[in-house]
Amino acid sequence: MGAYEYCEEEMLGDLNGDTIFNIQDVIMMIGYVLNNEYVFYADLNEDDFLNILDILILVNWILE
């Protein structure tokens, strides 16, 4: 997915609900990780934990 590729429905990684994957989603995910919050749509590797790996997956999606 490209930096501004549109999501057709609510998807993992689109944390701010603007239908695109971008830096705002990364910033929100970093906040969740730092505050030790669990948000289903931020758990990209579906391991029931939010951590740096989820952030790296999202950044990779944006850079593809």
The torsion defined by the Cα of 26, 31, 34 and 37, in degrees rounded to 10, comes to -110
The domain spans of the chain are: 1-64
62 pLDDT higher than 90? yes
> What is the pLDDT confidence band of residue 64, given thresholds at 50, 70 and 90?
confident
As a three-state string, the secondary structure of 25-61 is HHHHHHHHHHCCCCCHHHCCCCCCCCCHHHHHHHHHH
List, for residues 4-37, the tens digit of each pLDDT value: 445 444 688 999 989 899 999 999 999 999 999 9
The pTM assigned to this predicted structure is: 0.80
The predicted structure's pLDDT at residue 12: 86
CATH assignment of 1-64, among 3.40.190.10, 1.10.150.120, 3.40.50.300, 1.10.1330.10? 1.10.1330.10
2 pLDDT higher than 70? no
